[in-house]
Structure 1
Amino acid sequence: PVRLVLVEPEPAHKETLNKAHERLFLNPQQVTVISAAMNKSCSEEVVQYTFSQKMFDDFLSAEPLSVQKGVASALKSWRSFDKTRLIAPLIGLSQVASYSTGEGSSETFGFFHQIVVPWVKRIYQAGNYSEYVVEERIPCLNAPALMKEAKLEPSDIVMLTVDAEGFDIPILEAFVGMPGFKPTLQRWEGYLKKVGDQLNPGDVVTWFRSQDYKMGETGHSHSKDVVAYFGPSV
């Protein structure tokens, strides 16, 4: 039977994730939601940076509830171990024109570009966005600890998707060293080689290629994702 394991450190998203089975036509027992961050070697609570509720109260309290929830959900999903990586998307959305048009996005021109991006720009232009960054201590798991909590073996993983705000590679480094780990499909946010401040994906890319995965970059979900596929041509 199909089983879906979702790992998410942001408490505000847990209620939505607990209903994921409804959208996917699965039984509730087929979906497991684990509230934690992940990194290569962590095994206890860690500090992550996120935007405070006060920021959304100060800027969005007069807006319809749908706008408040949409903007807050988007910005709270950016939480990170690194304060600069938390702020970077806010700056990028405010300064890069293509984000306002949906250019290169799988959404074309949807809610994110019409509602979220304009509000991000207003927050950025106010000039005090860094004052709303707060620290939160949350549980953190490495790959073996996740397998234990989810009651899985590495060989059970058919598809693994990682989107960890710049920390995708350390998470993957722990998985690729586990005996039996060989998913049919693997995706992470980033590039096949080091670009800008991205952590070097070299060892991870080398491992997938050594296992005869077909690899490429796609802009379907982000400006760049890496996809590794093991199986017949489709």
Structure 2
Amino acid sequence: MRFVEHVMGMPASIEVPDQATAGAVLDLLRDADRRFSPFRDDSEVSTGRYSRELADVLDLCGHYERETGGAFRVRLPGRRLDPCGVIKGWAVQRAADMLRAAGVTEYCLNVGGDIAAAGRLWSIGIRHPDEEHRLCAVLEIDGGAVATSGTYERGHHIIDGRTGRPATDLVSLTVVAADLTTADAVSTAAFALGTDGIAWAAAQPGCLVFAVDRDREVHRSADLDRMLR
């Protein structure tokens, strides 16, 4: 069964066996939004009352800040703490882990275009950077995660922490990985790095990359060819 709802500020499409399972996934995502959103005054992020889970997320953010030389950064001068570049993938991966622990073997969780899937071959489109109703590629995965950072919906919203200015070298960067925590964090961090981020992301353990730069040139990992339909 497929369920669609607005959660974490974006559309979520959840394909799971039944309504009760979908409800459990949505409850987990709503809880993550309530606790970790920088746009809520009562969240842990805004109040500074950090749980063990948020501390773990911030440790992960620190790892990617160091790995990118500060291009990926969740604390920018003059702005509040914003771990959104990691929280979404982390929360959806927790939902996927919950499903597996409950014995659910086939599912597809798509939150704002970041996807965790398992159980069969899934076809996942990568949107054309300029034309809303066209795809520039279709990936076929039989398990794992796909995350895309781009300028489709929110323009140049990813900031290069080294300069404090929007990252504009790329228009789209997709990462395929075994888990969505990694795929989401790597795609955001790589986008912040600009064109250097393509090779950086491809060098991350277990990650494959499909990127479109601002000149509309496509760059992709050679091993990704086996997944392209």
Same fold (TM over 0.5): no
- Give the structure, 1 or 2, with the largest relative contact order (CA under 8 Å, sep 6 or more): 1
Larger helix percent? 1
- TM-score normalised over the length of structure 1: 0.28
Q: Computing the radius of gyration over CA atoms, which structure comes out larger, 1 or 2?
A: 1
